[in-house]
Chains A and B, each alone.
Chain A
Amino acid sequence: MDGPLNYTFQFGTVMDRFPELLAGAAMTIRLSAVTMVFGLLIGLVCSIGKVYGPRPVRWLVSSYVEFIRNTPFLIQLYFVFFALPNFGLRLSPDASAVIAMVVNLGAYSAEIVRAGVEAVPEGQIEAGRALGLRRLQIIRFLIVFPALKAVYPALTSQFILVLLGSSIVSAIAAEELTAVANTINSQTFRSFEIYTVVTIMYVAIVFAFRAIFTSIYAFTFARRG
């Protein structure tokens, strides 16, 4: 058959199925976006709990964070999809993917945001109380906002990792970009072409997200605080 480098590339075969690849990419972006929002929320709640909460809460958050950060995401995913049904909780591939990703991001963002929350000076909070601000307002303006601004680079780096990690959910048949690539590969066997195209798509998506994150910073943080 063909020897090395005698192989005729047929990108056409892959490009014919581009609509499917786009659908996969859309799913990747959807999964990641939802994860970023809810994962960050969990991270915020946890970090505030860790810094200002009572000891049981602090212990709970620490255990959660340590467990997630010292076990692989793939195993966490398998657990949600294959083991939870034993407890009566049967989630679809997409739902399992989101739950696992949110729980995972929650732990990492808890650590990241905590650094920012700890950096808020006590005096700032006391000043807020002295000014008669309600508790929720203090949290929102004097803790969350400055903390997020301070840890923004680390946080967005983690978000990019969420985007990249979404490729792993192909293992439980969620039809995101990597899963679509594997399906096309198993049908056409044009491995080099399909995986090259998909790699470029991932790089493009990541660069786009990086740009979006930069503009969000400019709009939200750079003008105030």
Chain B
Amino acid sequence: MLRTFTFYEVWLLILAARWTIILSLAAFVCGGSVGIVVAIARIAPYRALRYLMSGYIQFVQAIPVLMLLLLFYFGLNLFGIRVDAWSAAVLAFTLSTSAFLAEIWRGCLQAVPSGQWDAARSLGLNFGRTLLLIILPQAVRMALPPTVGYMVQVVKGTSLAALIGFTELAKAGTQINTITFEPVLVFGTVAAIYFLICWPLSMLSRHLEKQLRVGRMQIPAM
């Protein structure tokens, strides 16, 4: 039960980091799917829909992610819905990620010069076709740097799943610290592993920004 901090512990932490990566990918894929829908709806030519989506984004962005985790983990349980820590985490991160990605992507969609929309209309294309054929390809270019940058936030955000008992890297860290009690070594290693995952993504985002020579977009982050 009581051990010293050796390379075996480092290995256990690296193993736990698998879950961090899997959770991040799940959050990104699910959150992205919802987010793109919301982003498109946000610029759709129907005022009620735009306001609804704007409200959704504003509301979700005002809830702490930890609160979403707790709400889904404990709250849904009492409706008889089977929710374990993994499902609660995926649901909570999907919701949060969808709102933030929707905002980022909306900005990119709107940054495409409005002349493009007019030109498309004069060619007889409707909203949907214009979006698909003309706007999205250009917006995607612009969206790459902030999206990759936001991935960093998603990875860091998964650490909160520890607080509802999901064993990813942060939780593994506290468990191992209890067994070995070497907080400097344990949390230092945990921080280093996160850094090794996140820093390349940050660098990539910056590199893409320079490569594609797009304007700087501020990414919401903590």
Contact = CB atoms under 8 A, between A and B. Distances in A.
Interface centre among A78, A178, A196, by most B CB within 10 Å?
A78
B222 A104 contact: yes
Interface stretch (A67-75, A137-145, A215-223): A67-75
A192 B74 contact: yes
Contacts of B68: 199
B184 A83 contact: yes
B220 A67 contact: no
Interface in A177-225: 178, 181-182, 185, 191-192, 195-196, 198-199, 202-203, 206-207
Interface residues on B, range: 35 or more
A195 B79 contact: no
A97 interface: no
B198 A70 contact: yes
Contacts of A4: 79-81
B174 A78 contact: yes
Given A82-B177, A199-B63, A158 B220 contact: yes
A178 B195 contact: no
B1 interface: no
Interface stretch (A12-20, A53-61, A128-136, A166-174): A166-174
Interface in B35-75: 59, 61-68, 70-71, 74-75
Interface in A60-119: 66-67, 69-76, 78-79, 82-83, 86-87, 104, 108, 112, 115
Nearest to A79: B187
A74 B202 contact: no
A192 B78 contact: yes
27 contacts: A5-B79, A7-B79, A71-B191, A72-B157, A73-B159, A74-B159, A74-B160, A75-B190, A82-B183, A83-B187, A87-B184, A157-B218, A161-B221, A164-B62, A164-B63, A164-B65, A167-B64, A167-B66, A170-B163, A178-B64, A191-B74, A192-B71, A195-B70, A195-B74, A199-B68, A202-B67, A207-B62
